[in-house]
Amino acid sequence: MLGGDGTPPYLAGVTDAPAALVEDIDSVALPRRFRLWFEGRGWQPRPHQRAVLDLVTAGRSALLIAPTGAGKTLSGFLPSLIALDGRPRSRPGAAKRGIHTLYISPLKALAVDIERNLARPIAKMGLDVSVETRTGDTPGHKRQRQKLVPPDILLTTPEQLALLLASKDADRFFSDLQTVVLDELHSLVTSKRGHLLSLGLARLGRMRPGLTTIGLSATVADPDGLRRWLVPQDPPGAMAEIIEVKGGARPVIRILESDDRIPWSGHSARYAIADIYEEIRRNRTTLVFVNTRSQAEMVFQELWTVNEDSLPIALHHGSLDVGQRRRVEKAMETNSLRAIVATSTLDLGIDWGDVDLVIHVGAPKGASRLAQRIGRSNHRMDEPSRAILVPANRFEVLECRAAVEGNYLGAQDTPPLVDGALDVLAQHVLGMACAGPFTADALFDEVRRAEPYARLAREDFDQVVAFVATGGYALRSYERFARIRQTADGTWRLSHPSVAQQYRLNVGTIIEAPMLTVRLARSQRRSGPLRGGLVLGQVEEYFLEQLAPGDTFLFAGKVLRFEAIRENECFVSTAADTEARIPAYAGGKFPLSTYLADQVRAMLADPGTWSRLPDQVADWLRLQRDKSVLPDRDNLLIETFPRAARHYMVCYPFEGRLAHQTLGMLLTRRLERLGARPLGFVATDYALAIWSLGDMGAMAARGDLSWAALFEEDMLGDDLEAWLDESFLLKRTFRNCAVIAGLIERRHPGKEKTGRQVTVSADLIYDVLRTHEPDHILLKATRVDAATGLLDVRRLGEMLARIKGRIVHRDLERISPLAVPIMLEIGRETVGGEASDSLLAEIADELVHEAIDD
Amino acid sequence: MNWYMKPSMTERRAMPPRAPALLETGLAGETVLLDPAGIAFLPDSRTMLVSDLHLEKGTALSGRRNFLPPYDTRETLLRLAVTLARHRPAVVVSLGDSFHDGNGAARLADEDRALLSSLMAGRQWVWISGNHDPDAPAGLPGDTASELCIGALALRHEPSAGSPGCGEIAGHLHPGARVVQRGRSVRRPCFAIDGRRMIMPAFGAYTGALNILDRAFHGLFDPQEMRACMLGQDRLYAVARNRLIGD
């Protein structure tokens, strides 16, 4: 909402742009119409809105960091609206004016929202300014018309910008461009979409050297990174101006106190459902945030089982059928819902009306993430947001407590920016060839002006260009069919117009996990043919992989029985069961942030802080202190103990599930070599447990096993490499890189029926490529991706360095209190995840038994 | 930390391969040895059977500027070389779709052509024609046939309709099987076999698999007798039909 209705003009507690920054710039006088509009509503422009206006009018780029409700959107558009209003009227017959301002948001829905919100002041002031959206949903005729008659302000997404830039008339289309507004910049920059957008921005900067950019962002840990991101890195390190609006009213956050027992492990928070329901009853509209889709399903279902008053409680997550989601959103806008259970699909800045309470189920995993989600309640900056955290297990109690304190401290732990991905660069290079001929030197210089690619090596760039041309293989099989070709004048040119077509079909960096439509089967007779009924939504193919017909699972608020897969549809029937048999993976999708991990360790180490914890949790920690020892802030605690004919080792690095999983893979390899005969492991956000036939505690006592050597940093060398080569994780990453880079064509809805046996699967390509050309640029891109995203190698490396010489080992006779949560995860989690021969052997052996029994 | 800069396959490749366990089975009275590498061996006639090599599949889409890594032919031939060294057959029968398309043989890189020739040298080699490669591969030695009989077994590309008169070994369908055990799914290429008929898994490095519960296999096997012999690392796993899961 622009300005926010009824907000006072100046907010207490808001410190605005430092005077020095704006001093050397002439303050822009507000045109009469604008002044009257502000006055008519009893407002004045806020200091940060003035600051952005003054800076942009003076031709400088700016990063505006402000909390929700500070009028960020108006800040972004005010300079353009004033500039556009001041234009001389275009004479009849004069050439059509091009786009003046480009607005880019991560969400289509956000662009639509903004269009609506801009329309009001434009109409009220009677401005001669046209505003239009251009997204994947924009019909073809409207896109064509926009090319001929562009609006003054175009609201679009990173993918659409890439497409606009990859056309031959891009130069003309953007010839009047003055300003680019980038919304929700903090969420864009950390992804591959951000990389693609940064490359687009570099191209725009080359076309329009005087271009100003305005970044709108929530508070981030490293604002300077975003400031560099906004301006060409020429000279390297150049930064946009920054205007930071501090504060807003401090949110009121508490942790749910339940009389029920807090579970040792798990993510369901079932124990707290009655309390959550009570809160929903007490408030007008409650937003219940969860971390994963399956959690959303579970909480939603549990809430309805206790919903005695039949309150309108809805479910919203990305896999539900679009129609259903839209209905929920509509109901939300009209305030006809009392509660909505949602995943991160509702994270970003869409206006959701009058939410007065946010309940966060499960640990928030990061203090910044929590702050942004809480910002969803109460879009007014001067009133405190209210939020309740509901830890799902005992470790989460510690984490929630740390996050609450982090939030009070204003701590920021947004993920760090990473260097631009090479697969995205490949897509961009092809796009630029579609726009027109280029020389490698010029394009390299241009690309390096984008912050994520400022450190790009020329060698990598050249390999990417070679990849785009002919696949870049050492075996030169494809010269004849090159997509782009270097001509006599040294420029690279598109070899055929069909290549541009190919590019357009594959543009974008979002690779959805392959999804299947979930459809209710009409016929439930066992023998009768399955006929399709109501569509419930979509579910990941890999989830269905583990189901056999008859298995039940939770989806769209129902317990469903899996019947069969036909083409790209999964047929289900409604199950009579109240419990689903197959628990969907419900662990956190986001790794615990380094900051929170550190806070949790600090809390464990300092009994003085335990009084702030629920009694049962404090008792648990005291018990651990008596039976074993508590990890302190900098060491690594390892416990070994026997249990049911096996030997266990549990360690507590608190570095997040991904890093622990990687550590588990590497440690089991080493333990195997040491003769400990490890059988498996399980990882959570907090701890790692490995079990084995050999007694690891006794081995350590005998000197056959040295903990220091076991946790030596060198495991990130050969062991990691050897494991990675075999890892299914790498195959999945490779597939995504291959699609983004254009090696494998994207699966398009409706064109997927080619079948598995016809297309070459990415796994097979990966196996062949890594055997025959392990240095290929795509494999390089894959390994970098996996190291940062899937394996968290960086964090593991930092941990191993931190704990050097600080390993504390306790050989115990039985399981310790602290080890209980992770021990409960064993059996609930599948181990490793590699499709293994041992499972086949089991089945084949069963067959033998069956045969003998006959 | 630049561990990802120097991937090395040398260690893995240098490891001596464990000798795979062959699975002996009978087909219309003939002894057939199944190799987990995906080939079959008839000891009586020292004949090795391989199906659906789909050589040059990687380069087949290059005309559409789809540049898959062109190493699948090399990979397939190297894997074939391993099985040839293991069984030392007097006769090799390639059961069709040896090349992904009619021009495949012409696209062979010189090194790959030389490698293939060396594999063919000193033994009889029969190219059974397939739907992808109805004609004899250009410029390569070997005999060509639409089908072949060895003992009581007919060898052809596409399985005949209904119950075969004599024993039959075919390819074409790329059989694969899927099982779910303890909440995890394992999918592998397989030999599909009952006492009368066997369908070979596809051998090519870029060939996928079609679940044998798919309609395409309907009516080809006796459901009671059928086994899916799924390919494992160093052995085969025979699984009865009632344990198989569709896709």
ipTM of model: 0.87
B189: which 2 tokens?
């290429």
Of B7, B187, B207, the CB nearest to A721: B7
- The closest of A294, A825, A841 to A582, measured between CA atoms, is A294
User: What pLDDT score does A785 carry?
Assistant: 85
pLDDT digits (tens, 9 = 90+) for A450-491: 999 999 999 999 999 999 999 999 888 898 889 999 999 999
Looking at residue A742, the DSSP 8-state letter turns out to be T
Of B9, B65, B205, the CB nearest to A481: B65
Of A386, A409, A432, the one marking the end of a domain is A409
Sheet holding A678-683, edge to edge: A678-683, A688-692, A646-651, A636-643, A807-811
For residue A745, what is the nearest residue in chain B, using CA coordinates? B66
Cβ neighbour number for residue A839 with a 10 Å cutoff: 18
Say yes or no to pLDDT of B1 above 60: no
Of A546, A771, A787, the CB nearest to B184: A546
Residue A91: burial class (beta carbons within 10 Å; 0-12, 13-18, 19+): exposed
Query: Under DSSP, is residue B177 helix (H, G, I), strand (E, B) or coil?
Result: strand
Please, which residues 624-683 of chain A have a Cβ atom closer than 8 Å to chain B?
none
Q: What is the DSSP string of A686-700?
A: S-EEEEESS-HHHHH
A92: which 2 tokens?
């009849």
- State whether A309 and A232 are in the same domain: no
Mean pLDDT of A251-258: 84
Taking an 8 Å cut-off on Cβ atoms, the answer to whether B207 and A757 are in contact is: yes
Average predicted confidence (pLDDT) for chain A: 83
Angle between helix A422-435 and helix A192-207 axes, rounded to 10 deg: 30
Say yes or no to pLDDT of A656 above 60: yes
Contacts of A659 (CB under 8 A, 6+ apart): A591, A653, A791, A792, A793, A795, A796, A799
Q: Which of B172, B184, B191, B229 to mutate to test the interface with A (most CBs of A within 10 A)?
A: B184
User: What pLDDT score does A15 carry?
Assistant: 43
Of A536, A552, A574, the one marking the end of a domain is A574
Looking at residue A136, the DSSP 8-state letter turns out to be T
- State whether A326 and A236 are in the same domain: no
User: What pLDDT score does A152 carry?
Assistant: 96
Taking an 8 Å cut-off on Cβ atoms, the answer to whether B246 and A837 are in contact is: no
Whether residue A305 is contained in a domain is answered as yes
For residue A551, what is the nearest residue in chain B, using CA coordinates? B183
Taking an 8 Å cut-off on Cβ atoms, the answer to whether A769 and B69 are in contact is: yes
- State whether A72 and A201 are in the same domain: yes
Whether residue A368 is contained in a domain is answered as yes
- State whether A58 and A107 are in the same domain: yes
- State whether A257 and A237 are in the same domain: no
User: What pLDDT score does A580 carry?
Assistant: 65
User: What pLDDT score does A755 carry?
Assistant: 40
Distances (CA, A) of A221 to A114, A196, A303, A433, A696: 27, 22, 36, 37, 41
Q: Which of A718, A768, A783, A785 to mutate to test the interface with B (most CBs of B within 10 A)?
A: A768
Say yes or no to pLDDT of A763 above 90: no
User: What pLDDT score does A181 carry?
Assistant: 97
CB pairs under 8 A between A and B: 172
Q: Mean pLDDT highest for which of A175-179, A692-696, A730-734?
A: A175-179
Average predicted confidence (pLDDT) for chain B: 88
For residue B244, what is the nearest residue in chain A, using CA coordinates? A548
Confidence of residue A730 (pLDDT cuts 50, 70, 90): confident
Say yes or no to pLDDT of A583 above 60: no
Percent share of chain A, pLDDT over 70? 84
- State whether A258 and A212 are in the same domain: no
pLDDT digits (tens, 9 = 90+) for A480-518: 889 999 999 999 999 999 999 989 988 888 776 667 788
Whether residue A415 is contained in a domain is answered as no
CATH of the domain at A399: 3.40.50.300
For residue A757, what is the nearest residue in chain B, using CA coordinates? B208
Gap between the terminal Cα atoms of chain A: 73
Instruction: Provide the domain limits for residue A535.
Output: 515-574
Confidence of residue B233 (pLDDT cuts 50, 70, 90): confident
Mean pLDDT of A134-145: 89
Q: Which domains does chain B have, with CATH numbers?
A: 20-243 (3.60.21)
Taking an 8 Å cut-off on Cβ atoms, the answer to whether B65 and A471 are in contact is: no
Of A473, A756, A847, the CB nearest to B239: A847
- State whether A260 and A173 are in the same domain: no
The answer to which of A517-521, A627-631, B99-103, B174-178 has the lowest mean pLDDT is A517-521
Parallel/antiparallel/unpaired status of strands A62-65 and A241-244: parallel
Burial A453-485 (b: 16+ CB within 10 A, else e): bbebeeeebebbbebbbbbbbebebbeebbbbe
Say yes or no to pLDDT of A760 above 80: no
Whether residue A69 is contained in a domain is answered as yes
pLDDT digits (tens, 9 = 90+) for A65-104: 987 667 788 899 999 999 999 888 777 777 778 999 999 9
Q: Give the C-alpha separation, A365 to A627, whole Å.
A: 29
Confidence of residue B7 (pLDDT cuts 50, 70, 90): very low
Q: Which of B52, B212, B237 to mutate to test the interface with A (most CBs of A within 10 A)?
A: B237
- State whether A308 and A207 are in the same domain: no
User: What pLDDT score does A57 carry?
Assistant: 93
- State whether A234 and A286 are in the same domain: no
Q: Which residues of A touch B12 (CB under 8 A)?
A: 722, 725
User: What pLDDT score does A83 carry?
Assistant: 94
User: What pLDDT score does A550 carry?
Assistant: 79
The answer to which of A233-237, A478-482, A564-568, B177-181 has the lowest mean pLDDT is A564-568
Amino acid, single-letter form, for residue A54: D
Whether residue A379 is contained in a domain is answered as yes
- Cβ pair A559, A297 in contact under 8 A: no
User: What pLDDT score does A523 carry?
Assistant: 57
CA distance A273 to chain B (A): 28
pLDDT digits (tens, 9 = 90+) for A399-424: 888 888 765 556 667 777 889 999 99
φ/ψ of A852, rounded to 5, equals -70, -40
Burial A606-621 (b: 16+ CB within 10 A, else e): eeebbeebbeebbebb
Contacts of B108 (CB under 8 A, 6+ apart): B55, B56, B73, B116
Please count the structural domains in chain A: 3
Mean pLDDT of A206-231: 93
Taking an 8 Å cut-off on Cβ atoms, the answer to whether A756 and B109 are in contact is: no
Q: Which residues of A touch B210 (CB under 8 A)?
A: 755-757
Taking an 8 Å cut-off on Cβ atoms, the answer to whether B4 and A743 are in contact is: no
Q: Mean pLDDT highest for which of A374-378, B5-9, B110-114?
A: B110-114
Percent share of chain A, pLDDT over 90? 41
- pTM for this one? 0.82
pLDDT digits (tens, 9 = 90+) for A596-616: 888 888 899 999 989 888 888
Say yes or no to pLDDT of A214 above 80: yes
- State whether A260 and A193 are in the same domain: no
Whether residue A173 is contained in a domain is answered as yes
Whether residue A14 is contained in a domain is answered as no
For residue B234, what is the nearest residue in chain A, using CA coordinates? A837
- State whether A145 and A293 are in the same domain: no
- State whether A238 and A370 are in the same domain: no
pLDDT digits (tens, 9 = 90+) for A2-37: 333 333 333 333 444 443 344 566 778 889 999 999
Whether residue A841 is contained in a domain is answered as no
Of A565, A760, A847, the CB nearest to B68: A760
Of residues A411 and A760, more confidently modeled: A760
pLDDT digits (tens, 9 = 90+) for B88-107: 999 999 999 999 999 999 99
Q: Mean pLDDT highest for which of A3-17, A177-191, A237-251?
A: A177-191
pLDDT digits (tens, 9 = 90+) for B27-66: 999 999 999 999 999 999 999 999 999 999 999 988 888 8
Of A369, A393, A409, the one marking the end of a domain is A409
Q: Give the C-alpha separation, A431 to A422, whole Å.
A: 14
Location of structure tokens 């709108």: A216
